Structure 1
Amino acid sequence: MEIAEMLYIAAGRDGSLHSLSGELPAEDGDGEYLLYAYDGGLVASLAGRDIYDQILAGAPYERCPMCGRGIATTLDHQLPKSEYPILAITPANLVPACSACNQKKSSKDPADASEMLLHPYFDSLGSSRWLGARIHEESPARAEYFVEPADDWSTEFSERVARHFAFFGLSRQYAIAAAGKLAADRRQHAGLLERAGPDELRLHLKESAEGFWSVAGNTWEGALCNALAENTWYVNGGMNEI
């Protein structure tokens, strides 16, 4: 198990987890016991559950790192334990996730590099603003989300981010969440526009975006506020059509 963990971490760092299966030590018939070590030990026992909760607490602000929206309440096996029993309790293979993302990912085992999703422990998205949004000027207004690859991303990594974004349906998830925020903020923004004008409203939206970004990086809220600030239709009264 220790050898398997070292091989896993090395593969995670160089982006080759999809090709790990042939390199792992043989389980020598202990697969069932290793699975029980997770289900009966890490999850069900008091001492094991304490370790489980410590790993779960690693999620920044309790947010699911897969989608950035849900609350992380479960641990997901990045490489499925059904296929890799020897990694069933390897901490590097246990990623905090919300239940929706955990169920969506299920026991997906990447067959090659083209199926690799992002691994929160090894894949750094950097500090660039890669999550974009545009406002559709209609009634009711809606936001559309998309990936804007950073300048320092390789083509392969850009494709992996886009694949992760599509696999978890993040564009739709974020758009649904944005619709609620647009409706909730409409009156406040209309009042600020009436009292102080479009420039002050734009400044308020920019500051709100920076606030969201400073806490959790590329959030759907930050991308929404930035898109609203840059939308002339919205800052000149478009919120009244929502």
Structure 2
Amino acid sequence: MLQLDIPELTVAEAAVAVTLRMRLQPHSNRIRARKSDMETAELLYITAGHGETLHNLSGELPATGGDGEYLIYAYDSGLVASKAGRDVYDQILAGAPYERCPLCGRGIATTLDHQLPKSEYPILAITPANLVPACSTCNQKKSSKDPADASEMLLHPYFDNLGTSRWLGVRIHEESPARAEYFVTPANDWSAEFSERVVRHFTFFGLSRQYALAAAGKLATDRYQHARLLERAGPDELRLHLKESAEGFRSVAGNTWEGALCVALAESDWYVHGGMNDI
């Protein structure tokens, strides 16, 4: 779960790109005719995003009438398939930090996901603020479900601010083989509703299991290095190394599964006194 900057591209620029060389003139004409409505929808969307009210947006958007299929076509055949449209697509995709999927924080972002599904909100089909870089697994998992209320809203990487507090926790199970259990610890400045949304996002994408599996691999590959450091410099130096590693991950992307794991290992007396030898 990573935060991203809202794309600087506008829906007006996207509309120009997708219709630039569109061969089906009726389609391009219908899409251009809805440019003003798409700009209105974009403004409403960004305002609702900042206000955490995207789930209430449907009744405020300009009606699409019979143009829904053309607006969806603008995405499917314009933004995805045409050269000029694909340039816009790729610019939005490049907003993912180090190509990481912001929805899970692990996968490689290779697709764009509609935060509000284009099937339900065709007027937002090519709105950059509604297009989030994602890995194919998260994109497929999220599918086209339309949130019925605030509690069903998954986190939006452009608008939801997770803050700087440490909210991703790890419990090290000191056994052979050792395993890491991930969980959410809501920050003190989060509202109850936002805390529920973070936990829902975490659960929906199965991040506890995803992170635990990734941690198992990291525990195995780091074992030798940590054992040698313990042997050469002692537990205090190993603990310091783990804390500095955690800060390194945190400085790049905030709460990451790797950084949370390093914090938990640094806090584990069992691990820094040789527990890695039991992994």
- Tell me which interval the TM-score lies in, with the shorter structure as reference length: over 0.9
What per-residue deviation string (whole Å, max 9, x for no partner) do you get for residues 129-173 of structure 1?
111111000110000111111111111111111110000011110
Match for residue 106 of structure 1?
143
* Partner residue, 1:81: 118
State the partner residue of 1:72.
109
The residue aligned with 2:256 is 219
CA distance in 1 between partners of 2:206 and 2:135 (Å): 14
SS for the counterpart of 1:29 is helix
Give the distance between the partners of 1:47 and 1:120, measured in 2 at CA.
Answer: 25
Deviations 1:37-77 (A, max 9, x none): 00111000000000000000011111111001111100000
Aligned equivalent of 1:149: 186
Matching residue within 189, 211, 220 for 1:183: 220
Question: Which position in structure 1 is the counterpart of 2:199?
Answer: 162
Q: What amino acid sits opposite 2:75 in the alignment?
A: Y
Give distance in 1, aligned partners of 2:148 and 2:65: 24
TM-score between the two structures when normalised by the length of structure 2: 0.86
Partner SS for 2:171: strand
In the alignment, which of 21, 28, 47 is matched to residue 10 of structure 1?
A: 47
Normalising by the residue count of structure 1, what TM-score does the alignment of the two structures yield? 0.99
2: CA distance, partners of 1:27 / 1:165: 34
- Hey, what's the Cα distance between the residues in 2 that align with 1:210 and 1:8? 35
Alignment correspondent of 1:122: 159
CA distance in 2, matches of 1:162, 1:35: 32
1:197 aligned to 234, 246, 251, which one? 234
Q: Deviations over 1:5-51 (max 9, x none)?
A: 11111111111111111111111210110011001110000000000
Query: What amino acid sits opposite 2:113 in the alignment?
Result: D
Matches within 5 A, 1:3-42: 3-42=40-79
Answering whether residue 240 of structure 2 is matched by residue 173 of structure 1, we say no
Is the deviation greater in 1-10 or in 69-78?
Answer: 1-10
Q: Distance in 2 between matches of 1:237 and 1:100?
A: 37
Considering Cα pairs closer than 8 Å and 6+ residues apart, tell me whether 1 or 2 has the greater RCO: 2
Root mean square deviation of aligned Cα: 0.7
Question: In the aligned structure 1, how far is the partner of 2:82 from the partner of 2:99?
Answer: 23
2:242 corresponds to 1:230:
no
Q: Taking every aligned residue pair, what percent have the same amino acid on both sides?
A: 86
Paired amino acid for 2:259: G
**Structure 2 Cα separation of the partners of residues 203 and 74 of structure 1:** 38
Report how many residues are paired.
242
Task: Flag as ranges the 4+ runs of structure 1 deviating above 6 A.
Answer: none
What residue number does 2:85 align with? 48
Give the letter aligned to residue 171 of structure 1.
S
Q: Does 1:94 align with 2:126?
A: no
Post-superposition offset of 1:216:
1.1
3-state DSSP of counterpart to 1:50: helix
